[in-house]
Amino acid sequence: MGAVIGELLPFALGIAISPVPIIVVILTLLSARARSSSLGFLFGWVIGIVGVIVALTLLSSLLPTRSDHTPTTWQGVLKLVLGALLLFLAVKQWQKRPSINETPTLPTWMQKVDSFGFLQGLQFGLMLSVLNPKNIILSMSVATDLRTAALPIDQLVTVIVVFTALAASSVLIPVIVYLVASTRLHGPLEALHLWLARENHVIMAVLLLVLGVSTLGKGIGIIWP
C-alpha cells in the first residue's frame, strides 16, 4: 500500500498546488463571512475530489486486466493520452501568462466570492473540483494505477483517504490556520493572493509539464517494457 501511495503522491500534489482553489479559499478568508464561506468551499472541494476519484476508480474496475495484475496495453495507451493532454494544458497555461507590464485581473466569476455564504461556498467548491479538466485527467491516471494495484477494499479506502487529504491540503491548511489565528493572517493572505494572481499560469504550466512527462514515461514503460 505504501508503494501505491508513493506512486499517487505527485498527482495528489498536482491537484493541491493548483493556484485557482488556493486563490478562491484566500478570497473567502478575506471576505466578510470568512468562516462560513471558507468552510463551505473546503467541504465542497473535498467532496468533489472524493467523488471524482471514486467514480473513476469504479469505472476502471469494469475494464479488463491481467491475472497477475500487471498493467495492460490499454492502460499504457491511456497513460500516453493523459500525458499528452497534460502537456497540452501546460502549453495553454504558459500562453495565458501575463506580460511583465500587464496587471493581472481576476475572472468575473472569481470576483463574486466575497458575497459567498456556506451553501454558496459548498456549491462552488464542488463545481470547481468536479468540473476541473486538470483534476479529472490527474484522477484518471490515479484510477488506472489503483486498478493495477488491485488492493483489498480496506487498503483501497485508506489510499483514497490519504490521496484526498494530500490533494485538499492546500485548501484545508489555510482554513484551519485561519480558524486558529485569523487576526494575524490578513496581511500574509493578501500578499499571497496578489502573487498567485500574477504567477498562477506559470506555476500551472511547470506543474503540468512535469506531470505530463511523468505520465508519458509511465505509458511508454507499459507499452514497451
83 pLDDT above the threshold of 70? yes
210-225 pLDDT per residue, tens:
888 988 888 888 777 6
Q: Strand, helix or coil at 137? A: helix
What pLDDT sits at residue 51? Answer: 94
What ranges do the domains of the chain cover?
A: 2-223
Looking at every residue in the chain, the average pLDDT score rounds to 84
The model's pLDDT over 87-116, given as tens digits with 9 standing for 90+, comes to 998 998 888 887 777 666 666 767 678 788
Burial (Cβ within 10 Å: 0-12, 13-18, ≥19) of residue 103: exposed
The predicted pLDDT at position 143 comes to 87
Mean pLDDT of 26-44: 89
Q: What are phi and psi of 90, to 5 degrees?
A: -65, -45
With H, G, I as helix, E, B as strand and everything else as coil, classify residue 71: coil
Measured CA distances, 132 to 57, 179, 206 (Å): 17, 27, 18
pLDDT of the residue at 106: 64
CA separation (Å) from 101 to 16, 125, 163? 29, 32, 39
Assign 77 a pLDDT band (cuts: 50, 70, 90): confident
pTM of the model: 0.82
- How does pLDDT run across 170-200, given as a tens digit for each residue? 999 999 988 887 667 767 777 877 777 777 7
Q: What is the pLDDT of residue 41?
A: 94
Rounded Cα gap, residues 46 and 122, in angstroms: 10
Q: What is the mean pLDDT of residues 155-166?
A: 92
How confident is the model over 125-150, as a mean pLDDT? 87
DSSP 3-state percent helix, strand, coil across the chain (nearest 5): 80, 0, 20
Arithmetic mean of pLDDT, 19-47: 89
CA distance 24 to 174: 11
